[in-house]
Amino acid sequence: LSECFNMSAPPHPQPPAKGASHAAGDFSYVGIDAILEQMRRKAMKQGFELNIMIVGQSGLGKSTLMNTLFKSKVSRKSVVSTPEERIPKTIEIKSISHDIEEKGVRMKLTVIDTPGFGDHINNENCWQPIMKFINDQYEQYLQEEINIDRKKRIPDSRVHCCMYFIPPTGHCLRPLDVEFMSRLSKVVNIVPVIAKADTLTLEERDFFKQTIREELRANGIDVYPQKEFDEDSDDRMINDKIREMIPFAVVGSNQEYQVNGKRLLGRKTKWGTIEVENIAHCEFAHLRDLLIRTHMQNIKDITSSIHYEVYRVRRLNETNGQPNAQPPNTLVNPQQANGVAAQHQVLTHEM
């Protein structure tokens, strides 16, 4: 299955030869397709941004998974020893950015950690600070966008993807999972994963996944890739296959072991070594392919053209009736509580 959407070696089409070498005998060639190369060049020069949020109880291997995904220490495990000290009193949102580069492609990766989520005795409303953070990023982008003098490239701190870690109970989703995903799937792309999947056998895993899928459906939770955003039938075909497989059961590891003469990432136990990137062992490779190699651009596009636009519409309609209303769930400097509808309104008045 990974063959379907594994693009580990994307083909680079030959750039059209410059100068007269292509003119010989090729009269119909204009050069319009050269724009693809131009776009690629521009993208390489500008670099990319990606913001991933990881949500889940402590001890589910979130940091390890991040490090495995990006093959580097993007998440530093906290150095404090006791669990009591490790779990903050309130849910914190910790955002760390890294500049990474691969084959000339530069990316600013921001990992947003949420320590404290689900770790307290009373976890009611634990989704609130996270929702607020996501909306704050939308707000920040919106403010910059409506500035008169605005930056050439608006810095994008919007959360593109929220990875939700489900503990491997093997039964079903917990109320906390349902509550969180049902609320957040409306504002951000949620990618649920079954953490520490090496505690489940293949049968248990399949059963668990099926139960989760049913529960998601029953609760009206639309996780990435959302059915309603499929663009055409090709898209739908590819995404249907993915939807049959989520949530991915993953195992993370920073350690390499010697297996069959090769150095592989894995977890060594007395009864065997789990190879992280072996799809027979766990679905890490599928997750990596989905998130990074094939659908990364799509995830960003859905965030900017759908989730962000929904936020913007809501915000503009809010301040329409009550000019002094502050947008809910955001911590905005009152000085900068811009009436987003203002420009639009005045424009329509003037027209």
Map the footprint of another protein across residues 211-270, applying CB under 8 A.
Answer: 231
* 74 Cα distance to chain centroid: 15
**25 binds another protein per the rule CB under 8 A:** yes
Query: What span, in angstroms and rounded, lies between the C-alpha atoms of 172 and 174?
Result: 6
The answer to whether residue 20 forms part of the interface with another protein (CB under 8 A) is yes
Q: Select from 1, 93, 146, 172 the one that contacts another protein (CB under 8 A).
A: 146
Angstrom distance (rounded) from CA 233 to CA 229? 11
Among 31, 175, 220, 321, contact with another protein (rule: CB under 8 A): 31
CB of 116 to another protein, least distance (A): 23
Which one, of 96, 101, 113, lies nearest residue 53 by Cα?
113
Report in angstroms the alpha-carbon separations of 282 from 20, 105, 194, 286.
53, 28, 10, 9
Backbone angles phi, psi at 54, to 5 degrees: -120, 130
Q: In whole angstroms, how close is the CB of 306 to another protein at the nearest point? A: 10
29 forms part of the interface with another protein (CB under 8 A): yes
Tell me, rounded to whole angstroms, the distance of Cα 294 from its chain centroid. 13
With respect to another protein, which residue has the nearer C-beta, 177 or 289? Answer: 289
Whether 67 and 45 have beta carbons less than 8 Å apart is answered as no
- Could you say which residues in the range 93-112 bind another protein, by CB under 8 A? 97-108, 110
Largest CA distance in the chain: 77
Using CB under 8 A, which of the segments 53-61, 64-72, 115-123, 207-215 binds another protein? 64-72
Q: Is 174 in the site for another protein (CB under 8 A)?
A: no
Nearest-approach distance from CB 338 to another protein, in angstroms:
4
User: Long-range contact list for 35-42, CB < 8 A, 24+ apart?
Assistant: 37/13
Which residue, 195 or 341, has its beta carbon nearer to another protein? 341
In this complex, which beta carbon is closest to another protein, that of residue 118 or of residue 339?
339
Opening angle at CA 219, ends 214 and 225, nearest 5: 70
**Selected binder of another protein within 28, 81, 82, 233 (CB under 8 A):** 28
Of 10, 175, 220, 261, the one binding another protein by CB under 8 A: 10
Pairing status of strand 94-102 against strand 105-113 = antiparallel
Instruction: List the alpha helices (DSSP H) in the chain.
Output: 2-5, 34-46, 62-69, 83-86, 127-146, 175-184, 202-218, 233-243, 284-288, 296-302, 308-321, 340-350
Options 86-94, 183-191, 207-215, 297-305: segment touching another protein (CB under 8 A):
297-305
The only residue of 3, 124, 228, 350 in contact with another protein, by rule CB under 8 A: 350
CB of 68 to another protein, least distance (A): 10
Question: Is the Cβ of residue 231 or residue 240 nearer to another protein in the bound state?
Answer: 231
Q: 272-275 and 94-102 as β-strands: parallel, antiparallel, unpaired?
A: unpaired
User: Does the protein bind another protein through residue 149 (CB under 8 A)?
Assistant: yes
Does position 4 interact with another protein (CB under 8 A)? The reply is: no
Closest CB to another protein among 106 and 174?
106
